[in-house]
Every structure is written in structure tokens, then in C-alpha cells.
Amino acid sequence: MKRGPTALALVLMIFAGGLLLGQDQKEFADYREMRAYVGELFAQKKYAEAAALLESVLDRYPDKVMANSFNLAAARVYLGQADGAVEALEEGLRRGVFYGLWDFTAAFWDPLRGTPRFEAFLAANRAKVDEASGKAVLLTDVVTPEGYDPARRYPLFIALHGGGETMADLKPLWTSPRLRSEFIVVYVQSTQVAGMNGFHWQDAARTQRDVGSAYKKVVAEYPVDTARVLIGGFSSGGYGAMVTAFADPFPVRGFVALCPSVPEDLGDEAILAAKSRGLRGTLLTTGLDHRVEAQRALAGRMAKFGLAIEFHETPNIGHWFPEDFAARLDRAIGLILAAGEAPRR
């Protein structure tokens, strides 16, 4: 297979910042819209269309090569194109990016495992990850509410980015009228390297340390009402929010998880202990999310043990933010803060 854009029945044209695709005349105003559409194609098992689109935009979004080349490789695995899948990953390395080691532990990649070309890619990728991991530092970005008065005390929302992303990726997405007007918000960037310019929250213990450090830093520097601390995140960040809230390293009033990875080792005792502390949560997902069944089961198990949990599933979209996310986030905040005061320490 040739490198770069190839003929997979896709005609690509650029018009005034939009992307026009073949016979469907599908336009994308920006990367976010394109990514959401790719998610829909995967959910509908239209892997050839997804592969064609992803291959065509590698040059258009140079800062998103990691995500686009990884998803291109995944689409080609689904299509049974083993060499093409490895070639997409090699192309990412050639363009200066690399990928999280955990990305390739799933059984999904078994058709490639053991082949000399894939094993050579894994070795080269690991070397890049090891180098980057030695340089990773915890980063935070604090946003104060409109009309901020340092003499007042404000609730705090800790926001965690998705896997392979940064706090800068999350910031324009994880916002709402209540956050802007009422909360000190800290966007936290993990120290766990997921790939080139991307991080994740895969290790629970390390996640709790990172988030705990960010919490202490903000509380020391800003007037935080420590009885009103909320945490939330998208995808891997949703996992990070839940494992932190249930571990209870500092008082957390509630969590909001959007399309989260599911904590597989979250035991019944931890749920019961969280209930006794008054923890409340909202789990938001989408009907085409690849983990939706596990997310439904998790919400059901929390409800079974009496934890105050709201579950909402937006139909017909994949692993991404629904259009009404801001309203959903504000509703979740209202449900969490409507409860009585959380215990102080």
C-alpha cells in the first residue's frame, strides 16, 4: 500500500475551511466535527469509509496525527488489512508521534501480534514512550468564575482530559454556564504518557496521586470551599474521576463521568463506603459508545447498593460529547450540590 492519501473511493476537496467528501458532500467545519463523524462510522461498522477519511486528513490536521493514524490502523484491523494497519502506525512514528503502550495490550491487536513488522513497531514506540515518561510533569490550568472575589469561598470542579489528550483539549469542551459563573475550575494534565503530546489516567494509584497533588495546590492558592468539591472527566478522565472519588483521598462531593472507561476493580465495599460518605454521581454516555454495556451495568450496580447515581444515554452518537453536554453538566452539578453537606475532615 502506498503511503499518504490513496484511492479508497474518496475524493477530498478543501473549501473555505470545510472538508468536502466525495459523493456524500459531507463537510466538516473543524476537527471536532470530523472526529465525531469518524466515531459514527466506527459505530456503524463502516470501516472502509472511516479509513478513507482518516487517511485523507493526516496532512490537514498535523497536530492530530497520533489520534488519526491510530484510528486509521484500527479501521484497517477491522478490514483485515494487517500490513496496512502497521503501516498507519509506522507513518505516525515517521511524522514524529508515538502511542501509549496500553493501547496495544487489547486482544483487538492480536491479528498483528507476533509479526516481525508489528513487533519492530512496538519496540520503536516503547523507546519513545520511555523517553517522554522521564520528562512528564503534572500541569494544571485554573479558571476562576466571572466576577471572582478572592474574599469569597467557591466550589471547586476538577476536570480530567480523555486518553491521548491534554488539558488544553478538554478546556473548550468541559464548560457550562454554572462552571463559568460559580466555580473555580482546575483542568489537570496527567503525568501518565499516552502518546505524543497526549496523556491518560490508566494507573489508578498514580491518578489519585496526581489529582491529589493538583487539589492541594489549588486549595493552597485559591479560596476553595472544601465541602463542595466535584470531579469529572471524559473517557479515560471519567475513569480517573471515579477511581479518585471512590478512593476518597480528599473530600469529594460528587463525580460526573462522560463515556468513561469502567473501573473493573471497583468493589461492592467501595460503593457502600462511598454511599455512607454521601457521594453522588452522574454517568453520561452515548448509545454508540463502545463501552455502553459496561457503563450501564456499572450504573445499575451503583444504584443497587443505594448510591445516588443518575445515568443518561444520548442515542445515535459515538464516543464523544453530546450537543447538550453543557446542560447535562449543569444538571449533574445541581443534583450533586442539592444533597446535604458532605462530611468535612
**DSSP state for residue 63 in the 8-state scheme:** G
Q: HSE on the CB side for 194, CA within 13 Å?
A: 21
Look at the alpha carbons of 178, 184, 186, 187 in this order and tell me if their dihedral is positive or negative.
positive
Q: How far is CA 129 from CA 67, 99, 201, 218, in A?
A: 16, 7, 15, 29
pTM, full prediction: 0.76
| Residue 46: count of CB within 10 angstroms of its CB | 16
* 47-83 pLDDT, tens digit each: 999 999 999 999 999 989 988 999 999 999 999 999 9
Indicate whether 7 pLDDT > 80: no
* 183-207 pLDDT, tens digit each: 999 999 999 988 777 899 999 999 9
pLDDT (0 to 100) of residue 194: 83
Which CB contacts under 8 angstroms, 24+ apart, belong to 289-292? 289/259, 289/318, 289/319, 290/42, 290/43, 290/318, 290/319, 291/259, 291/260, 291/261, 291/262, 291/319
Q: Measured in whole angstroms, how far is the alpha carbon of residue 231 from the centre of its chain?
A: 14
Could you give the domains of the chain?
Answer: 12-133 (1.25.40), 139-337 (3.40.50.1820)
Q: How far is CA 4 from CA 8, 10, 53, 142, in A?
A: 12, 13, 12, 40
For residue 336, give the nearest of 227, 177, 233 by alpha carbon. 227
pLDDT band at 340 (very low <50, low <70, confident <90, very high): low
